[in-house]
Structure 1
Amino acid sequence: MTDPQNRLAARKPATVGLLLTLTLLGVFPIDVVLPSFPALSEHFQSPSSDIALSVSLFAVGIALSQLLIGPLSDVMGRKNLLLIGIAGSAVGATGCVLADSYWSFLFFRVVQALGCGCFVLSQALIQDLFTGQEQQRLRVLLVTCGGIFISVSPLAGTGLQSWMGWRGSFLVFIALAAGVFASACHLLECPPAGSQPRRFNIIASYRKVFGDFSFVAYWLTSALAFSCHFSFIVISPLVLIDQLHLSPEAFSLVLLGYGLAYIGGGLIATLLSNRIDPQTQIITGLSLILAAGLLMLGLANYLGLSITTLLAPMIVCTAGTTIARAAANNQAMTLFPAQAGTSASAGSVLIFIVGGLTSAVISLTPLDLQLALALCLILLSLLGLALNALVRQRDRGLLLG
């Protein structure tokens, strides 16, 4: 092994830790602050709707930031852009802690969101630093841990709110960001000084990746699978707290149990990645989501609403989501390895749009929420299976042609 190869091999465990922390920081600022809504509302003397607006603007800020960060990272490299983003997110979080009015809090929350857009580069870093089966295994790991992080964040937020007040989540974010900044400085390398510079043309970059049918189909498949999980997270307080009358602590524990189910899904996805091809993995994952929707529909019809009839199908769904998303992400990211940043940003924005629209439709539907969620799982899985069939048919046509 050459010295650079030796250095890369020695750094791999630490690099995986860096990727996991980037994944955590990508979801931490949204979900962990939810239990602090009443405290934020009281502190800033603003209605809860204003605090909810800060979450919506945060999500929009991340999406807009990612649109620019991905293509820009393909030109100037990942390291410097990641460090700028981490520093910006920490500055925004610090401003939130020190804010003395709602509007200053809102401003710094947007600043934090713009910085957090850099965390999308975790997918591009996998493409840059790893090869072959390592990429697939790492994407399974990130999908698994991302689901766990989203599920346990409300419980962490409840604990931080009790211990440190509403500022607790921002202070922990600042500490994590500082650690990631130092780790990225040490582990990542800047592009070689003699490397050929590339022109920055964001329109051309996105036109190239979105012009490929397979690329769009794979990322849409990932978005559809993620929407099943995200929709459950969004409506879970409405079902578990409002309808089943769980306490906030019991609600957090239920989500913790659901999040732990992602570990099982990740193990299954890892086993399948070594035994069947990616498109078959996608079909397997989407079929499990379809089965979860049908199971939820049957249980709701015969047994009514309960923690069991809601959670048992969703545990099946988590396995399907993990399997389908990891395989679809990997397939999409391998199509344009030279534009890994653009590819990651394009996929993340699609996931954000589809997940947001789906969860909004379910939240606003006049149907019973459990019924609406069951129908959502069925519909989204069927759409994903149809997309995958079109990709397979197109690939066969290209081979025959």
Structure 2
Amino acid sequence: MKLSANKITGRLGVNYVERVALEAGCKPIFMPEDLDTGIDGFIEFVGDAATLVAFQVKRGPSFFDNAGAKHQADARHLRYWKGYVLPVILIIVREDESEALWMDVRQHVRDSPSIVERGPFVLRPPRLQRFESAALTGVIRKLATPYQFGDAVSALCDADGETRLSALSLLYRFRMERRTPFCLAAALRAELDLDALATFCDFYSRYMSHPEVPFGADRELSAYARSLLAGLPRSQLLNLLAAFNSDEEYGDWDGATEIYSMSEEKIWDRHAVVERGTVQQGIAVVVGAAASPEQLLSVLADSEVTLGQRKAAVALFGYLGYTCDVDSVDNILGRETDAPLCALLTWLRYWLVLETRTDGDGTVTA
């Protein structure tokens, strides 16, 4: 896959932070790019006890003007940084790396809480506050805070959704410990905010069969993580389906009616219904571990459930390779009037019939 210019610039910024941290004898810890919730990583200071600061790095000509370094933030990121467990430093690097400046953005927002609601959202690190090894071993090290697993769990249980999301970056350091999927599975069972739920799924799916960037968990940890999702209540399965269908770009099934005019050569593949690299992919992995074919079939057949959730159930039923009697789909089709839902059911029926023919025995069983 070709990297975009923005991604290359971003990675070069992270590489710059890594070099400076290593020169200062610090340990850089990076969040995977597609798990970035507002933190690019951490700088760990190793002594009698490890202490850390979190960082967000920006690089390129657009982050400098005649007045110096700048970053146009938004209210969501300001709230996120304000409530973060660790100090957060914003680092801005010139494209030629001739200059890099930093600021304690968490303390800046805490000192001026009104900017979260009213702005200005432009953050400007002081001109003389250079990000270099001397700063890391001096003033930045004094900011660093020790944190334990319990701090991440406390964030995971917080009443504020942004704080709960911050727990994921905190837990990343402990991702290969059994207690981490245990706590995350409990959070998945309780989370009601759809955006947070989708992000939790994206993180959790990497313990299992996430096709993009898995954690590389061994077979035992992967199986353990999967087992923790068994017996998910139907109410939370419905929330997962709502989260799957809430994305503005990939969760809108109104265009599904094009299925009616497709030739057999062009009809969507089972796995093409979920776009690679999206949060929906992570939700699909979690649903595959948490819900049986019978559970999804009961949702898509339930007229009391919202259309969005039922459409998501059809799409995931097909994506996960689940099977059922073709008559079950025909019975649902016979009483539905929503065109996109009928189109998705027609798509699912196509694959069930095709697989029946392939099996050659005239039946497909769950």
* Shorter-chain TM-score range: under 0.3
Q: Point out which structure has higher relative CO (alpha carbons under 8 A, 6+ apart).
A: 1
Write 1 or 2 for the structure with the bigger share of strand.
Answer: 2
TM-score when scaled to structure 1? 0.23
TM-score when scaled to structure 2? 0.24
Higher gyration radius (CA): 2
